[in-house]
Amino acid sequence: MTVSPDNQITFNFIGRVNSPYKEKFAIPRQPGLVSAAKGSILLLEDANNEELLRGIEQFSHLWVLFIFHGTEQQGWKPLVRPPRLGGNKKLGVLATRSTFRPNPIGMSVVKLEGVEQKNKQLIINISGLDLLDQTPVVDIKPYLPYSDSIDDARAGFAQQQPYQALTTRFSSQAQQDVQQYQREYLGLALFIEQVLAQDPRPAYKKRQDDDKIYGMKLYDLNIRWQAISDNELKVLSIHRVN
Ligand code: SAM
């Protein structure tokens, strides 16, 4: 790492995320909302050394500090429109968890599922992630409940969980498709249900009759779905994509 006199810092990432979320659409807004999401962090170069992880299994959860690599090229803005305010009210970027920040640094608490080593590659298995595939990781720290959890904290517009969980139904075609893919992707139906429960549609779509068919990419699968009422979504089909 270098810190230069002209207010610049340069450092290398220590890892890369392997995530089932291959595109931004339908990624939950925060970690822990989709507990069935399973991913991993591959440690890189000098950080790919088991000494860095000695003792980590004593912790159930980790903070992952990362770079919003999927949006950083779009730059940043001092004011942003948080989606949960319907996309029509502006707040200061530092008063939100927007990805469009002066330094595109994200932080997520994830569940530690275990550590393994395959062909000299250290892999930290995690769940509940809200991270795009290939996200660069700049640091990992243990979550400390005694100081990281504040019972009487105020959270303004984000005090509550952002949605009322929707119910997901599977068409008969989608049920057959789940049967076909669930051997490869354990817990696939639950994962899809949890992702859809948070209603990934843009805020303005939820306010009107919406018969659009949506596609979302989880793993290498395209999942097609549609709203069938205000509180129900239906999975139409699941196909492998390249
Ligand atoms: N928990 C983090 C935080 O508070 O810093 C992220 C919150 S941000 C509101 C969550 C959104 O970031 C996800 O819904 C996803 O669309 C987006 N995201 C996740 N990983 C990303 C990446 N590597 N690049 C760009 N956007 C990403």
ipTM attached to this prediction: 0.99
130 and 235 share a domain?
A: no
Three-state SS for 37?
coil
For atom 17 of ligand 1, the residue with the nearest CA is 24
Of the residues 138, 157, 176, the one at which a domain ends: 157
Nearest CA-CA partner of 128 in 144, 149, 112, 150: 112
> Ligand 1: distance of its center to the CA of 114 in Å?
23
171 and 77 share a domain?
A: no
- The average pLDDT across 159-176 equals 90
Which residues, judged by CB distance below 6 Å to any ligand atom, belong to the binding site of ligand 1? 24, 27-31, 68-71, 97, 99, 106-108, 130-132, 135
Task: Give tens-digit pLDDT for 190-231.
Answer: 999 999 999 999 876 665 678 899 999 999 999 999 999 989
36 and 116 share a domain?
A: yes
- The average pLDDT across 106-116 equals 98
Atom of ligand 1 minimally distant from the CA of 27: 14
Say how far apart CA 131 and CA 128 lie, in whole Å. 9
Mutate to test the pocket of ligand 1, among 33, 80, 130 (most ligand atoms within 8 A of CB): 130
Q: Is the pLDDT score of 46 beyond 70?
A: yes
| Number of domains present in the structure of the chain | 2
176 and 236 share a domain?
A: yes
pTM of the model: 0.96
Helices (H) and strands (E) in the chain, counts: 3, 14
Q: Is the pLDDT score of 140 beyond 70?
A: yes
- The average pLDDT across 71-80 equals 96
Which CATH number is 202's domain given?
Answer: 3.30.2310.10
Three-state SS for 123?
strand
E strand or H helix at 233, and its extent?
strand 232-240
Domain range for 197 is 163-240
Environment class of residue 191 by beta-carbon count within 10 Å: exposed (0-12), middle (13-18) or buried (19+)?
A: buried
CB 62 within 8 A of CB 110: yes
> Ligand 1: distance of its center to the CA of 30 in Å?
7
